[in-house]
Amino acid sequence: MNILVTGASKGIGFEIVKQFSSTAGNNIIALSRDMELLQNLQIICNNECNNNIHIYSIDFLGITFEDELKSILSNHNFHIDIVINNAGYLVNKPFTETSQEEIRQIYQTNVYAPITILQNIIPSLDDNRQCHIVNIGSMGGYQGSVKFPGLSIYSSSKSALANLTECLAEEYKEKNIKINCLALGSVQTEMLNKAFPGYKAQVSSEEIAKYIVQFSLQHPIYVNGKILPVSNATP
C-alpha cells in the first residue's frame, strides 16, 4: 500500500509510521520539519521492520510549502491508498492574548496544510482504487464536547478540519475516496505535556496509533464523512 503520513517526527505520527512499516511492501511517505528525527524514524523502520520509508523535511508554515509538496509528490508517481493528516500545532493561551501570528500558525498547520495536501493528492488518484483519508481531529473540536480555556484557536481549527471532512466526503461521494475524521481525546505526547503540564493521559501514542492504523486500513464502505470521537476520558 502507498501511504502518506504527516507529523511523522514524533508523537502519534511517529508511531503510525512505525506500525505501517511493520507490514512488508508498504510504501510510506513520512513528512515533518525535523530531518534528524525523521532519520531516526527511518533507521528504526529499517532495523525493526526491514522496511524503508521515504522521509521529507517540509514546513507547513513556509512560503514555499506548496511547491515543495508538489516536488515531493512528483517523486512518487503513484496512487496513494491512505493519507493520514496527523500533523498539528497547539498554543495554549487566553483568546485575547493569542497573537495574529500564533493564530496564523495554528490554522496554517491544522487547516490550510491538510487542504493544500488534499488539493494536490486528490487529482492524481486512480479512480479504480480506493483512497482513505483520515484527518486527525481533537475532542476539543467535536461539537458538544467539554471545552478548555486557552484552546479556543486550536479547538476551532480542529472543528474546521472536522467540517472539511464532512464537506469533502459529500463532494467526492461518487469517487473511490472515503474521508473521515478521528477526534482524539488526550494522548501522552509532547503536545499534551505542553498544553496540560503534569496531566497523565490514559492512552499512549503507541496505543492510539494502533487504533488509527487499523481504522485507516478498513475499507470504510459504511463509514464516510464521519467525525468519530476516540476518547475514554476528559480531556
Query: Which residues of the chain form contacts with ligand NAP (CB under 6 A)?
Result: 7-13, 32-34, 37, 59-61, 86-89, 109, 136, 138, 184, 186-187, 189-192, 205
For residue 74, give Cα distances in angstroms to 33, 78, 157, 204.
19, 9, 29, 34
Q: Which is nearer to ligand NAP, 168 or 191 (CB)?
A: 191
Is residue 179 within 8 Å of 162, Cβ to Cβ?
A: no
Min dist CB 234 to ligand NAP, Å, is 12
Q: Which is nearer to ligand NAP, 27 or 188 (CB)?
A: 188
Min dist CB 143 to ligand NAP, Å, is 15
- C-alpha grid cell for residue 6? 504527516
Q: Which is nearer to ligand NAP, 49 or 201 (CB)?
A: 201
DSSP secondary structure letters along 102-166: HHHHHHIIIIIHHHHHHHHHGGGS-TTS-EEEEEEEEGGGSTTS---TT-HHHHHHHHHHHHHHH
Min dist CB 120 to ligand NAP, Å, is 15
Report the C-alpha gap between 150 and 128 in whole angstroms.
45
Q: Are strands 27-32 and 53-57 parallel, antiparallel or unpaired?
A: parallel
Q: Which is nearer to ligand NAP, 173 or 182 (CB)?
A: 182
Min dist CB 3 to ligand NAP, Å, is 16
For residue 98, give Cα distances in angstroms to 95, 154, 160, 174.
5, 11, 18, 41
Min dist CB 128 to ligand NAP, Å, is 31
Min dist CB 37 to ligand NAP, Å, is 6
Q: Which is nearer to ligand NAP, 2 or 112 (CB)?
A: 112
Report the C-alpha gap between 196 and 175 in whole angstroms.
41
For residue 65, give Cα distances in angstroms to 112, 128, 235.
11, 29, 32
Report the C-alpha gap between 233 and 235 in whole angstroms.
6
Q: Which is nearer to ligand NAP, 59 or 66 (CB)?
A: 59
Min dist CB 106 to ligand NAP, Å, is 10
Q: Which is nearer to ligand NAP, 70 or 129 (CB)?
A: 70
Burial, 221: exposed, middle or buried (Cβ in 10 Å; 0-12, 13-18, 19+)? exposed
